[in-house]
Structure formats: structure tokens, C-alpha cells
Amino acid sequence: MKTPINLWIIGILALVWNGAGVFDFMMTNMRNPRYMQSLPPEQLAYLDAMPAWVNLFWGVAVFAALAGALLLLLRSRFASLGFAFSFLGIVVTLFYGLFLSPQSMLEIGGGVAVIFTISLVLVTLFFWAYSRRMARIGILS
């Protein structure tokens, strides 16, 4: 079956979106001085207090999403699995940020954090649903 043009468009958007997530994760975890200087002190304190298990789930969220995007572009039915693991990582990370962290991520980021958090969840769910649909209709194999 011929690959629809929207797969390439959505796949490239997914790659860019999730590539930015991997970039943020890597720069933060490598403590890149220039990158860390761009963050407000409250966010630095939040990141410094983050337990290793939360950081692990954050990594799962971003790298699984990037894998999902690459698999989508490769027309693999396993793309949806990458986005599903990403969603799991996002949910665990958000649960910590909202309910378990010493200072809620919403207190630190305010309304922008709410909008960004909702967009993370919705965009990941969209990529997951899209890749499942493409597999179901035979575009991904």
C-alpha cells in the first residue's frame, strides 16, 4: 500500500517534537552549563531534588517517543509501542511532579507548566493513536 503524505508530515513533526525532548533531557542530565544557566533557580532546585527513578521514567518518556517517531517513519507497526512506553513515562513523571515532589511543578511553572503538561499528554496520545490507526489499515507493517 502506498504511504500517505500525512505519514511523512506527522512522522517528521514527531521526530522534531520528540528530538527536542531528548535534547532537553540530555542537556539537563549532562548539566550543560550554558543550558542550565537558562533555567530559573526554582526549576534548578526541582531538577536537583528529582529522584533517580523519576529521571529514569523521564528518559523512558523521551527516548521511547523518539524511537516511536523513527519507527513511524520506517513504517513499522512497533511505532505505537514506542509512543505507549513514552506515555507511561510521561504519566509517572507527571505524577511525581504534581503530587510527590517537594515543590509542585505547577508552583514552579504556573500556567505555562499546565499548558505544556497538557500538550505533552495530548501530543503523545495523538502520535500513539495515529500510529495504531496506520498499523490497523495496513500502512505500517
DSSP secondary structure of 65-119: HHHHHHHHHTT-TTHHHHHHHHHHHHHHHHHIIIIISSS-HHHHHHHHHHHHHHH
Q: Which residue has the cell 522534531?
A: 16
Q: What pLDDT, on the 0 to 100 scale, is given for residue 109?
A: 87
Q: Of 104, 108, 13, 72, nearest to 21 (Cα)?
A: 13
**Distance, CA of 92 to CA of 113 (rounded, Å):** 16
Reading phi first (left if > 0) and then psi (alpha if -120 to 50, else beta), residue 51 is in beta
Chain length of the chain: 141
Q: Tens place of pLDDT for every residue, the chain, 141 residues? A: 899 999 999 999 999 999 999 999 999 999 999 999 999 999 999 999 999 999 999 999 999 999 999 999 999 999 999 999 999 999 999 999 999 999 988 889 888 888 998 999 999 999 999 999 999 999 999
Q: What pLDDT, on the 0 to 100 scale, is given for residue 1?
A: 80
The total of other beta-carbon atoms located within 10 Å of residue 4's CB is: 12
Domain boundaries, the chain: 5-136
Q: Of 85, 68, 66, nearest to 131 (Cα)?
A: 68
Q: What pLDDT, on the 0 to 100 scale, is given for residue 111?
A: 85
Q: Please give the model's pTM, rounded to 2 decimal places.
A: 0.95
